Chain A
Amino acid sequence: MLRARVIPCLLLRNAGLVKTVRFGDAKYVGDPINAVKIFNEKEVDELVVFDIEASKRGAEPNYDLLADIASECFMPVCYGGGVNSVDQALRIVQLGIEKIAVNAAAISNPGLVAELSDVLGAQSVVAGIDVKSDWLGRYRVFDASSGKLTDRTPETQAEELARAGAGEIFLNSVDRDGTQEGYDLKLIGKVAKAVSVPVIACGGGGRSEDFVSAVAAGASAVAAGSLFVFQGRHRAVLISYPPYKELERLLGTK
């Protein structure tokens, strides 16, 4: 049987590994290659790597770093950050990273997802959607590259990007990011209902049991940052990942 995937989500800033809280307060966590090596040894299901600065600065992806990451990964890897053309995506795929996430570029250029899907196939295209509540408490798509809330609902955005050819939706809750308070189950439910492609839930994962609720709410996979890089109340840096048997026990029936 297929088990829901559990995915460490790593954030890059200037080639260093960082972790944010509600998309701010980026704390330096360590060297990304070292972290990737440890996650590889722990046999993680998959790895997601986002460069959180690339789009803001209008910078190219850091291809040298991505090549190093790819050579250490014997599991699926997804990269996002600063990708706004098919050529860039192809270059990254050729390095051995088989999934490309687009987020900011999918907001400013809705045609990009379709172009990428045509060339790479839907299974390699991940649509990233960051969601934040507006002042009325309504879910809206957040554009992290400009720091602005859009007027789009996450369901509409997910549905449109899936129709355009995204093979997966990476759904990130800005309000839960780094809090470890548990996933936003209502948000996951809404988006999972709107699309038939897998939804990866991110933001708020604080313990293994949270995965179970996220999957029950409709997620096909769960991602987390803090949970896998911090330990204890004082958030000391320590890379961890649940043993396979535990994941199978928690998420094995599907």
Chain B
Amino acid sequence: MSAIAGTSPGLMSARAPLWRRLIGFNLLTGIVLGVGGWYLGHWIGTEIHGVSLAYFSATAGENDIAIMLGYLLGVLGFLIGLGFAVYPVQRVFGGQPTLAERESHEHGLLRYFSLSTDHKVVAKQYMVGIGFFFFIGGLNAMAIRTELLQPNTHVFGANQYLTLVGMHGSMMMGIFTSGVLGPFANWLVPIMIGSRRMAFPRIESLTFWLLMAAGVVLITTIFFGGFQTGWTGYQPLGDQGTAGYDAYIGFFALVGVSMTLLGFNLIVTIVTMRAPGMTWSRLPIFVWSVLATAGLMVLAAPTLIATLLMAAMDRSVQTAFFIPGQGGSPYLFQNLFWVFGHPEVYVLALPGFGIVLELLPVFTRKPLWGYRLAVAGILGVGILSFFVWQHHLFVSGINADLRPFFSLSTELISIPTGFIFLCALGTLWRGRIRFTVPMLFCLAWAFNFLWGGVSGIFLADVPSDVTTHGSFFVMAHFHYTIMGGLIFAFFAAIYYWVPKMYGYKLSERLGKVHFWIMFLAFNSTFAPLFALGFLGMPRRVITYATNLQGLNDWVSASAYVLGLSLLLFLVNAVWSLVFKREPAERNPWQSKSIEWQLPTPVPLHDFEQLPVFDGDPYPYGDGRVPVPAVAPVGEGG
């Protein structure tokens, strides 16, 4: 075992030649072993399939067992190549866990391409990795809008188009579950609660590399004929699908594992690793939102994993959980999927609430208004989100007598969401508002999420939902809540925290240009979709009524501008962080929260001495010293 550990780059001096450092546990090894694992799994699957041909009639021409085993062993090989097996194997043979501590001292670019136990490195890995898949998902959206420029002249084939739709949805709904928790919670939560690390640093890294593996698995669907089901993957349509649907299963199952682990890691960190004085009533509101989100992840994602396992078994070993002709039920899949799926959309929304409520006090120079109400709102939304899932199935014929209950529970969610709005409004009231780029994005969140919420009333109301269900109205609704809510909050967080995370300023001027183009183009893209839905355009169609072409072209044109605004952000980020590299001040926003009191860049173990918290996190306007008192050396831990 020591021989394996000895080849790890983490144990080597940074002065060793590059080729020598590339041999060991890193991304390169991971890719090599991943590809090897794929072929091994595929070969085993083919052998099994040969034996079992007599029992299972192979119908579709592709061998799903081989492909699924290929994904499984490929991902395992990838993780082993990155070095995730070293620690457990060492422990099994009685070794001492030394690797992590040494790895944390690794400097240079290579640490971003290997297993890192530094929460700040993992956060930056997440930032770039999620950014990459967000970019791919965005390109898919551009392709979809290009196809919809014309009702009857096609750019893509019908199957290609549906694969684009499914990849866009899965990429955004799957990868972006960790969009805020990956980069920002991993970076901020330990610092905000006064800890030097996450509770499980190796698992923290594992969640990231699992998510990257998931993204790659999803992209491989294009080699197997794509999938026709959209991100919801309904059965028995999925069961009909080509092997591309196996990639969908593998993708979402890996995302589910990553979500579950990330959730547990954050919960344990927040519950057990708070510094002295960090009581529950002093927890920054962002950490509360992370805690609630992590709770949703831990409770919802396992349902997804189980559901997809059942779907995988239906496809490979001929079970019939969802096959109606053999006693299965498509309703079962819909039910299970949305038991996961509705908490999932709040996994996307809640961190946005947290970011906005965390940033508003800084730029209004006021304490957060109604802290306890905000906490109640976040927890209330989180809890209620488990009791609303059948509003996705109002016209499906399932449990029709439960529709009044699900309509009621859905409407009730507007009450805790209202708490969040009240706290945001109260924080604006009589502040001294500074219109910085992060503040502009927070205000846009409030504007966009308002329309998302108002349109949600129509979908919660069964008679109104009969027309709007499955139409572009629904699409406009969830783009307003997720893109208009989460993504705008996400950019607020980027403009606000990146100077501290990366140590370089982002251009404020380009930021404002980015904001205004993105805000206007976003509304110009998605507001007409409400009208299109009202006019009867169903989702996920490659063709539509010719009288809707004008509106669709307007939407497509706006979508291109929206895409360009995101490219503008990319230009800003690359220019500011890679070329200009103007060092950021320690606290450019005059924030009073703890991460801004640390030096830039933040040192390896965050705190020289663990802080002691002695007051609420938003001491604006009452003259209190913002820097938390520092504990004597050796205290806490």
Q: Do A and B come from one complex?
A: no
Interface residues of A (CB under 8 A from B): none
Where the two chains meet, the residues of B that have a C-beta atom closer than 8 Å to any C-beta of A are none
